[in-house]
Amino acid sequence: MNVPGIRPRLRIAAVLMSLPLLALTACGGDTSGTAPAGAPASPAPTDDPVAAVRKVDSAAALLPADVRKAGTLRVGSSIGFPPGAYYPNGTDKAPAGQDIDLADAVAKVLGVGLERQDASFETILPALGSGKYDVGTGNFGVTTERLRTVDFVTYINDGQGFAVKKGNTALKSKITDLTRLCGLTIGTGAGTTFEATLTAQKGVCAEAGKKPYDVKVYSENAATLTALQQGRIDVIMSTINGLRYQAAQPASQTTFLGEFHRLDVGFAFKKGSPLTKAFQAAVNELIKDGTYARILKKWGTSASAIETSRINPPEHEHE
């Protein structure tokens, strides 16, 4: 995409993470939040494309012998928001979402079980290095900075976008240039790629002779959307798929303003992990047999499909 005023080699340092989707459900870890009064639950789709997945010996053979013998992988999982991963029936019930289905399907291809542990997103990547988890999930974007310390196996293409309150008159079309935000207040999550992008480009408004934009960061899921609904911020910056899903929920009263910057999203591993080739083979098996397409269709994310899984692809440039 054409992004005037954005440095072409902009690198984003923080982990990709979505902001609140009306806090449609209670969420775990640091992403917990209380839904606004009257907010509906978001029931999970009932179809189960993972049920028919079977072990593929050629992919399973790529696992280290000790993993095959143990038969289990420890997953640090950030459960927070649909369509990625959330609790449709409360935190005492099983989570659901695109990331949950894809991880479960990969595990079935590899013939192993998953020991899923809820964790706040910012704690997962460091814990991979310490050996606490074998793999991390949480809509982790592949960035140049992260590739220095973490390995990724990609499974979807998501990224950064914007949304406003329905009826907003200041912003009505896709934002391709951050100078469109000058003079406005943007809500985003602390420690995210969104905050990093907005901070790195804070000077674009002054360069254009315009009033700077203001950035407010939030640590709880419900807080950002509530701030938007109450007029304390003008726009939300978050994930493409998350904001698109949010805008489809009538109670959210938001309008999605389109894509800003695409990022590959992947399973995360400690640097040098022997698990990456097995996970890549498993994702590609799911793509080949059609399970992958059915999972994305179930969660409404087909537009973010990838053609093949890659290990440690370079971060997307702004186009």
pLDDT in tens, 226-244: 999 999 999 999 888 889 9
86 or 308, higher pLDDT: 308
Residues 215-227: what's their mean pLDDT?
82
Spatial distance between the Cα atoms of 105 and 45, rounded to a whole number of angstroms: 16
The full DSSP string for 18-49 is: ---STT-S---GGG---PPTTPPP-PPP---T
| 18 Cβ contact partners less than 8 Å away, ≥ 6 residues apart | 80, 81, 84, 139, 189, 238, 239, 241, 242, 243
- In terms of average pLDDT, the best of 90-99, 119-128, 184-193, 288-297 is 288-297
* Buried-state track 169-182, b at ≥16 Cβ within 10 A, e below 16: eebeeebbbbbbbb
pLDDT of amino acid 39: 38
Instruction: Please say whether the beta carbons of 105 and 266 come within 8 A.
Output: no
Q: Which stretches within the chain are classed as H helix?
A: 57-60, 65-70, 98-110, 121-130, 193-200, 204-207, 221-229, 240-247, 276-289, 291-299
pLDDT of amino acid 42: 63
Q: What is the pTM of this model?
A: 0.79
Residues in the chain: 319
**Residue 237, SS3 per DSSP:** strand
pLDDT in tens, 91-119: 899 999 999 999 999 999 999 999 999 98
